[in-house]
Amino acid sequence: MIDELDRKILSLLQKDARLSYREIAKKLNVAVGTVYNRLKRLEEEGILKGFYPKLDYEKLGYELTAIIGVRAQGKRIIQIEKEIAKDDHVLCVYDVTGEYDIIVVAKFKGREDMNRFVKKVLAIDGVEKTNTHVAMDIVKEDLVLPI
């Protein structure tokens, strides 16, 4: 379980993952060793899964964001999700309820990339149907929640 100090450390890192242990310690008025030990424990417990830069994918050439619903045969859903998740275009794969079994969020440099990806998904054994939505504008794209 995490305590208030863990929450504060994680909150600082969510805002700026480049902060050094020393900078975090100074901001929170604790020892550098405390920060190091807390982060090491949070990683070991699987709470902290890495440090990632926040990228502007459009500026890197990824002009299309697609949200793709996938209907799949029940006995194959987990295998299909794992296969889809391997693709470099894929940001998120969700096992969901409703009309579709799987929701995929992916980014592409153009329509041709997206077309190839969708056809590749449709070729996976057990995939029955896909439904692709292209984001017209991204209002918010941030996987950071308050802790």
Q: Indicate whether 3 pLDDT > 90.
A: yes
Q: Indicate whether 21 pLDDT > 90.
A: yes
For the segment 59-79, what is each residue's pLDDT rounded down to a tens digit? 999 999 999 999 999 899 999
pLDDT at position 105? 98
Fold of the 4-44 domain:
Arc Repressor Mutant, subunit A (1.10.10)
Q: Report the mean per-residue pLDDT for the chain.
A: 95
- The candidate with the shortest Cα–Cα distance to 122, out of 81, 70, 73, 87, is 70
For the segment 109-131, what is each residue's pLDDT rounded down to a tens digit? 999 999 999 999 999 999 999 99
**What's the rounded Cα separation, in Å, for the pair 67 and 49?**
24
pLDDT band at residue 10, thresholds of 50, 70 and 90? very high
Q: Indicate whether 52 pLDDT > 90.
A: no
Alpha-carbon separation of residue 147 from 13, 20, 31, 45, 112 (angstroms): 11, 20, 22, 16, 39
Average pLDDT on 29-50 reads 96
What percent of the chain is helix, strand and coil (3-state, nearest 5)? 40, 20, 40
Residue-range domain boundaries for the chain: 4-44, 58-134
Q: Indicate whether 147 pLDDT > 90.
A: no
pLDDT at position 143? 81
Fold of the 58-134 domain:
Alpha-Beta Plaits (3.30.70)
SS3 80: helix
